């Protein structure tokens, strides 16, 4: 058994009694109550999911296994000659809670390399889709079409699999799938936008390095890829993509179904697609400005026009955060270091200045500050990835790291089928004392 899996097994066995005890001895303890506003309003803030992999504090931002983003970027082992940590090390941390050594990172990287080859039938299938299919639809279709590879589904069907062992073959599915996502993403990109001039994976490279190589983008794009995948990996369990993955897996659907579904949720403009929307919005402004950077007053007018047109300002606001997203801040720091004079960065920087006061003045958004998506397109654009409808695929590759880690733990701790209860409007009216 590989060392990571062995270590994970030990961690799981040590953790299980905590969950079992909570359920058996304290199952009736109340941790929250639900209002009508929460019931109609998308279940905001209701505490009804458990994960130990990341926690989102509204005023601090995300912690992965209790580490903030700056701590992670400092502590995780880095690729030689690069500024950013190995993505494989982040995955190790998400799964085990421990910062890996260089050797432990190498072991995960070797595992990924041995599993990275995407089956030819998937590449053939992608090649038959219409060229104007959205990259997220292609990505999701490719993942679900690989479902026949699921080790867990095969074992489940064969019978005799014990519930406490579900996590083991789920772990195999996670590694098999994660290892293939960079090639799948890069294939979609090169097939759709680069005349199907496909670049094969390089078995010597780590996940970020290999992705940059297959995309055909030179250094430091390998570091950009590492940064992206790490920043987007997890944001606790209640966001649409993570929650969708968890929900599907709770029916004991395998990793391929779960991750394909989570990609579909990520593809919404209120969620991961916002990074594409930000670029589309800025391009619209640039066209109107004939390419020059608007003055503050002009930019304010564009923002107000968007709001008055009934649209949201993409890249701003958040369902949980109440401050500037630390994932935004990490990317802004990267921009200040590597591309401070880039015109697009200047646009984004100007938006950082003008949008929050406008959203505050409008008085609707609970959080006027930028989220991860406000900044992420700029770096991609700068390094030559200008096809912005591809950006959410990058988010998806990263998010799969967190969602797969969560699903493995869901299975390890025996979390049951998810099944919240719905009520009718008449029942809510009765609760409110206004029933006719
Ligand atoms: N621009 C304009 N209005 C906004 C806004 C924004 N950026 N953010 C929130 N609002 C509005 C909402 O549309 C809502 O209006 P209505 O009452 O008319 O429906 C009101 O403010 C209250 O919303 P909220 O409670 O502050 O925010 P939600 O939890 O409902 O939604 C989010 C959160 C992210 C969907 C929302 O802020 C938004 O639409 N932002 C723009 C899209 C975006 O950047 N999404 C990416 C989020 C990060 C990610 O998941 O990738």
Tell me what the mean pLDDT of segment 106-125 comes to: 97
SS (H, E, C) the chain: CCHHHHHHHHHHHHHHHHHHHHHHHHCCCCCCCCCHHHHHCCCCCCCCCCCCCEEEECCCEEEECCECHHHHHHHCCECCCCCCECHHHHHHHHHHCCCCCHHHHHHHHHHHHHHCCCCHHHHHHHHHCCCCCCHHHHHHHHHHHHHHHCHHHHHHHHCCCCHHHHHHHHHHHHHHHHHHHHHHHHHHHHHHHCCCCCCCCCCCCCHHHHHHHHHCCCCCHHHHHHHHHHHCCCCCCCCHHHHHHHHHHHCCCCHHHHHHHHHHHHCCCCCCCHHHHHHHHHHHHHHHCCCCCCCHHHHHHHHHHHHHCCCCCCCECCCCCCCCCHHHHHHHHHHHHHCCCCHHHHHHHHHHHHHHHHHHHHCCCCCCCECCHHHHHHHHHHCCCCCHHHHHHHHHHHHHHHHHHHHHHHHHCCCCCCCCCCCCHHHHHHHCCCCC
Query: Which CATH class name applies to 274-382?
Result: mainly alpha
User: What lines the ligand 1 site, CB under 6 Å?
Assistant: 239, 270-272, 274, 307, 312-319, 364-367, 371-373
259 within 8 A of 404, measured Cβ to Cβ: yes
From the candidates 318, 325, 349, 431, which is the catalytic residue? 318
Q: Which residue has a Cα nearest atom 28 of ligand 1?
A: 319
CA of 417 relative to ligand 1 center, distance in Å: 30
Domain locations in the chain? 1-24+50-271+389-417, 274-382
Atom 49 of ligand 1, nearest CA residue: 271
Share of the chain above pLDDT 90, in %: 96
Given this model, what pLDDT does residue 63 score? 98
pTM for the whole thing? 0.96
Mean pLDDT (the chain, rounded): 96
Testing ligand 1's pocket by substitution, the residue of 242, 280, 311, 312 carrying the most ligand atoms inside 8 A of its CB is 312
- Asked whether the predicted pLDDT for residue 420 surpasses 80, the reply is yes
Q: Among residues 373, 389, 410, 431, which one is catalytic? A: 373
Do the first three CATH levels of 1-24+50-271+389-417 and 274-382 match, i.e. the same topology? no
Residue 225 Cα to ligand 1 middle (Å):
27
The set of residues, in sequence order, having a beta carbon less than 8 Å from that of 177 and lying 6+ positions away, is 143, 146, 255, 256, 259, 400, 404
Residue nearest to atom 29 of ligand 1 (CA): 319
373 is catalytic: yes
Instruction: Render pLDDT for 20-73 as a digit per residue (tens, 0 to 9).
Output: 999 999 999 999 999 999 999 999 999 999 999 999 999 999 999 999 999 999
For residue 127, name the pLDDT band (cuts at 50, 70, 90): very high
Question: Rounded CA gap, 413 and 27, in Å?
Answer: 15
Q: How far, in Å, from the CA of 368 to the mean position of ligand 1?
A: 9
Distance CA 315, CA 321 (A): 13
> Does 98 qualify as catalytic in the annotation?
no
Instruction: Summarize pLDDT for 342-395 with one digit per residue, the tens.
Output: 989 999 999 999 999 999 999 999 999 999 999 999 999 999 999 999 999 999
Confidence at 81, pLDDT banded by 50, 70, 90? confident
- Reported CATH class of domain 1-24+50-271+389-417: mainly alpha
Res. 291: pLDDT tops 80: no
């Amino acid at each position: 058994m590989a060392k990571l899996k062995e270590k994970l097994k030990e961690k799981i066995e040590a953790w299980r009694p905590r969950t079992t005890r909570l359920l058996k001895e304290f199952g009736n303890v109340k941790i929250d109550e639900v209002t009508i506003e929460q019931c109609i309003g998308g279940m905001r803030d209701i505490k009804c999911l458990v994960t130990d992999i990341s926690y989102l504090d509204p005023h601090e931002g995300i912690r992965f296994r209790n580490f903030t983003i700056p701590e992670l970027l400092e502590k995780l082992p880095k690729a030689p000659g690069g500024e950013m940590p190995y993505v494989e090390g982040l995955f190790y941390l998400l799964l085990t809670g421990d910062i890996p050594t260089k050797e432990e990172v190498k072991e995960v990287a070797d595992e990924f390399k041995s599993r990275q080859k995407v089956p030819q039938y998937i590449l053939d299938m992608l090649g038959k889709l219409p060229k104007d299919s959205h990259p997220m639809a292609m990505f999701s279709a490719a993942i679900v079409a690989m479902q026949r590879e699921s080790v867990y589904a095969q074992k489940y069907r064969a019978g005799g699999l014990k519930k406490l062992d579900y996590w083991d073959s789920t772990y195999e599915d996670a590694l098999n799938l994660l290892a293939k996502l960079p090639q799948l993403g890069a294939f979609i990109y090169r097939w759709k936008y680069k005349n199907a001039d496909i670049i094969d994976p390089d078995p010597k490279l780590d996940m970020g390095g290999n992705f940059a190589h297959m995309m055909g983008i030179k250094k430091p794009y390998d570091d950009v890829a590492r940064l992206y995948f790490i920043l987007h990996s997890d944001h606790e369990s209640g966001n649409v993509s993570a929650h969708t993955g968890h929900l599907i897996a709770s029916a004991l659907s395998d990793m391929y179904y779960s991750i394909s579904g989570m990609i579909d949720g990520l593809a919404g403009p209120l969620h991961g697609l916002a990074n594409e929307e930000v670029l589309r919005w800025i391009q619209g402004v640039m066209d109107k400005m004939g390419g020059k950077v608007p003055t503050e007053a002009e930019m304010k007018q564009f923002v107000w026009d968007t709001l008055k047109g009934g649209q949201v300002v993409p890249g701003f606001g958040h369902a949980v955060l109440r401050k500037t997203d630390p994932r935004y801040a990490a990317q802004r720091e990267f921009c200040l270091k590597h591309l401070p004079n880039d015109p697009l960065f200047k646009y984004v920087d100007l938006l950082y200045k003008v949008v929050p006061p406008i959203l505050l003045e409008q008085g609707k958004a609970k959080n006027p500050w930028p989220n991860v998506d406000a900044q992420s397109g700029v770096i991609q654009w700068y390094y030559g990835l200008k096809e912005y409808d591809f950006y959410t695929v990058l988010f998806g590759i990263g998010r799969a790291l967190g969602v797969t880690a969560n699903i493995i733990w869901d299975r390890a701790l025996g979390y049951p089928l998810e099944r919240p209860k719905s009520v009718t409007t008449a029942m809510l009216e009765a609760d409110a004392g206004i029933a006719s």
